[in-house]
Chain A
Amino acid sequence: MNPQTLQQRLRPYASRATLVWLLLALATLVSVHFGGQRPAAGRLGVVIVLVIAFVKVRVVGTEFMELRVAPRWLRLAFDAWAVAVCAALVGLYLYPLAGIPA
């Protein structure tokens, strides 16, 4: 196999999508570290888990669903949905009725 062929064979892996995939996988592991299976993830842990999840959501939307080439209104609608749902979830998690053992 000559070097050029090798380079051509490796080309699919050296792409923007691969970098995106790597970041998403790393973010998943980071969120497992902060949330995970402690009796209660704790207030800060919960916020970190939720925010990381919606950052990943936005990256999937922008990169994989190609919203980065979409008209502004579509990108804004998607981002607004992500921000609104994330904020609502953080609020509901931080202020439980019965009171969380901190």
Chain B
Amino acid sequence: MSGSGESIAAPRIPAEPGIWVLVGGDLLVFSLFFLSFATYRRDAVELYASAQAQVGHGIGIANTLLLLTGSWFVYRGVEYARRDGPHAGANLLLMGALTGVAFLLNKAVEWSTLFAQGASAYENDYFMFFFMFTGIHAFHVLLGTGVLLAFQARMREGAARSPSMWVIEAGGIFWHLVDLLWLVLFALLYLA
């Protein structure tokens, strides 16, 4: 493996501690979401299954693969920026942002298809959770996409204008958090 040898280096907190406070907070809030969804399902197994069948899983699969690919771009972008300077990571971060845009377009198609079928957040517990959780998550994607776009623009302007490396790393960690939360939402809302 063409490793960077970081496994033998002293442990360090990736980016800086503040971003991990945000990560921890988001993980706790979303775990309440996950557990509420599963708790309400106990009374409504059949209803959840039929609502899930109505949603389908094609767009969900596409969006999962998009965010995983976005995470790859962002990870590599941070790696390149670290090694060769901020400008070296800008294109990869831009590609990551584009996966976010594609995710949101897919989400818009999915929601409008469901609305056209007459589905709404008031229809039943499943759809209430579905629209609420995917809506809050989509807001995270929007935020992450905006951050990546802003970072990559300034990274192109050279080291003096670029955000510091730890800021770029923190942006990457937020992006991966958005990916990670989606992995659980995808399993709960589309598959399980």
In the complex, B52 has a CB within 8 A of chain A:
yes
CB <8 Å contact, B71 and A64: yes
Is B191's CB under 8 angstroms from A36's CB? yes
Residues A49 and B11 in contact, CB atoms below 8 Å apart: no
| 8 A Cβ contacts from A56-102 to B | 56-57, 60-61, 63-72, 74, 77, 81, 85, 88-89, 92-93, 95-98, 100-101
Q: Is B39 on the interface with A (CB-CB < 8 A)?
A: yes
- Choose among B43, B46, B72, B184 the residue that contacts A18 (Cβ–Cβ < 8 A): B72
Partner of A41, one of B6, B71, B176, B192: B192
Residues of B within 8 A of A69 (CB): 6-7, 9, 11-12, 14
Name the interface size band of chain B.
35 or more
CB contacts (< 8 Å) of B172 on chain A: these are 64
Per DSSP, chain B at the interface is helix
Kindly state whether residue B116 has any CB partner on chain A within 8 Å.
no
| Residue positions of A touching B, CB distance < 8 A | 11-12, 14-18, 20-21, 24-25, 28-29, 31-32, 34-37, 39-41, 45-46, 49-50, 52-54, 56-57, 60-61, 63-72, 74, 77, 81, 85, 88-89, 92-93, 95-98, 100-101
Q: Can you list 13 residue pairs at the A/B interface with Cβ under 8 Å?
A: A17-B75, A18-B72, A21-B69, A24-B68, A28-B65, A64-B71, A64-B179, A65-B23, A65-B173, A71-B12, A88-B38, A96-B41, A101-B45
